[in-house]
Structure 1
Amino acid sequence: MGQLELYQLKNGYRYNSDTLFLYDFISANKLRGDILDVGCGCGILGLLVARDNEIKLTGIDIDPLNVQISQHNASVNGIAGEFIAEDFSKFKSDIKFDFIISNPPFCHFGVTKSQNKHIANSRYNDSLSLEQFLAGANRNLKPKGVLYFCYDAKQIGWILALLVKFKLNLTKLRFVHSKRGQNAKLALFEAKKSSKSLCEILPPLIVFDGDNFSLEASEIFKKANTISKVYEC
């Protein structure tokens, strides 16, 4: 895969390995059709998926600056995409999407909140609650459309209840653990709208082997092949 250049704010929210693990989870399937990247940030997830698949990419973010950065990153990498500045909790597209992909904000009210507005919008779920996110996914997916997202593993009970509420059937689930023997911190989800398929529980992803990245994590980073650069406003 060609290297993806990603410009980001020096002092704002910057993508992390969660998005790369989600990209790898999505990559198990060949995607085709209309895709919406929710909370697109610098555009990383949607641009990675668009680089590897024949899709029509749309990105949405509540922050107009993120939309500006995503447009810049799409142009720099020669990837076609439309990026819009809207609140996904109120968004209703004229077209329905085959796929929705997202690393949504999932830090909750119980944590100490950053005073940096750009970081806060991207990290904390008061900018887009889980219920708002899944309601919006149901509203904007085609019948049998597929949702891919990652979320805090500790909130799995609440996630499963809301998936059922919004008629999104969980079809694949994978947990991410920092090290063997440690609790999962992240969960990766595939859910299909109005599906009756059974759920496949995938083997866990272990990030570290001792003090080094595991072989699988290293291969994911290699496949993503991203390089970060500073975006000057």
Structure 2
Amino acid sequence: MSQLELYQLENGYRYNSDTLFLYDFITDRIRGEILDVGCGCGILGLLVARDSSVILKGIDINPINVQISQYNASVNGITAEFITGDFSEFKSEIKFDFIISNPPFYHSNVIKSPNSHIAKSRYSNSLSLEQFLASCNRNLKPKGVLYFCYDAKQIRDILVLFDKFKLNLTKMKFVYPKINQNAKIVLIEAKKSSKSMCEILPPLVVFDKDEFSIETKEIFKKANTISKVYKC
């Protein structure tokens, strides 16, 4: 794949490996109209659009993120539309085939970053799990698909809310820092109004001793991103 140049704020929230793991989880499965929720610098949607034939739209609560995402789309020759908005209140006239997201999932009771740009991107009080899933249900087409990553410890809350919003867990993969440690995040595929069985994929272990595992290295190689500083 061609290298994706991604401009980001030097002192703001910057994408991390969670988004790259999610990209790998959904690669080759997306077509049609997609919405990237909490798009940040645009990385997730732009990676998918680089690799697949999609109509990409992104939404973020931070106006500067929308500006950067549009710039990154232009730099990489990708057609996309990015809008500023609060996803908890978003209602699109056009429903989406796919919604993709690395939403904020850190609890509000942890010590927060004093950087407002980082805080809005990380903490769930910016967009709660219930608000996120309610809006996904509202904006997906019938049989539409949701891909997102979340804190693995909150899997029970996710499943309870799936029942409430008629979303069915169809695929999941846990991500472990090391083989003898607890899972940190879970990668999830859910379908609206579906009765399909759930497929549990083999786990991803990020590190092999003190270096990235072979699978992690392959994911980074496939993503092929380079980060640059965005000058406001």
The TM-score bracket by the shorter chain reads over 0.9
* Mapped partners of 1:182, 1:115: distance in 2: 29
TM-score (structure 2 length as normaliser): 0.99
* Mapped partners of 1:138, 1:46: distance in 2: 19
* Mapped partners of 2:228, 2:162: distance in 1: 37
Aligned to 1:14: 14
Kindly state the Cα deviation for residue 30 of structure 1 after the two structures are TM-superposed.
Answer: 3.0
Aligned to 1:3: 3
- Correspondences of 1:1-233 after superposition (within 5 Å): 1-27=1-27, 29-233=28-232
Stretches of 4+ moved more than 2 A in 1? none
Which consecutive unaligned segments of at least 5 residues does structure 1 have? none
SS of equivalent to 1:12 = coil
How far does the alpha carbon of each residue in 1:187-222 deviate from its partner, in whole angstroms, 9 at most, with x for none? 000000000000001110000001010000000000
**Which stretch has the larger CA shift, 157-166 or 10-19?**
157-166
SS of equivalent to 2:97 = strand
* Mapped partners of 1:133, 1:14: distance in 2: 21
Kindly state the Cα deviation for residue 124 of structure 1 after the two structures are TM-superposed.
Answer: 0.4
CA RMSD of aligned residues (A): 0.5
SS of equivalent to 1:47 = helix
* Mapped partners of 2:153, 2:164: distance in 1: 19
How far does the alpha carbon of each residue in 1:98-120 deviate from its partner, in whole angstroms, 9 at most, with x for none? 00000000001221001111000
Amino acid at match of 2:77: G
SS of equivalent to 1:184 = coil
Count of residues paired in the alignment? 232
SS of equivalent to 2:184 = strand
How far does the alpha carbon of each residue in 1:143-184 deviate from its partner, in whole angstroms, 9 at most, with x for none? 000000000001111111111110000000100000102100
* Mapped partners of 2:196, 2:208: distance in 1: 34
Amino acid at match of 1:170: L
Kindly state the Cα deviation for residue 231 of structure 1 after the two structures are TM-superposed.
Answer: 0.3
